[in-house]
Amino acid sequence: MNLYHCSIDLHNEAKALAFAGAVDQWMAYLKERGVVQGHRLLRRKLNLASDNCRDFLLEIEFDNLSQLDDAFRVLGESNEEVDRLYRNVNDLIAHAEFGLFRPFPDPERAERMALI
């Protein structure tokens, strides 16, 4: 399992519930296409966070890096539905930071592996 971790702040005029609904629709579409395993959207509670923490945390689950690659291929399609669903989420975001994480220690012991 790999987690694509997105730390997000919305535009000031964006509504949090509209954002949550747009994320659910976009993730449901990607799950239906078989390119994500699942997701969860979290919101900072009681403003308990350091200054560098954003308001929302979106975690998207992938079985492997091949599935993540497939998700990016879907995003790159020339498809009106993909464009609309992606835009409905992206247009509400003011700032976002991303990272790819995996369980640790993992069975592959990736730190010891190198192709060259």
pLDDT, tens digit, for every residue of 58-67? 999 999 999 9
The pTM score is 0.87
The mean predicted confidence, pLDDT, of the chain is 90
Q: Are 54 and 8 in contact (CB under 8 A)?
A: yes
How many folded domains does the chain comprise? 1
Q: Is residue 7 part of a domain?
A: yes
For the chain, give the number of residues.
116
CA angle 38-108-72, nearest 5°?
A: 40
Region 20-48: mean pLDDT is 94
Q: Is residue 115 part of a domain?
A: no
Q: Are 61 and 71 in contact (CB under 8 A)?
A: no
Element (H, E) at 82: helix 80-90
Residue 82 belongs to domain with CATH number:
3.30.70.100
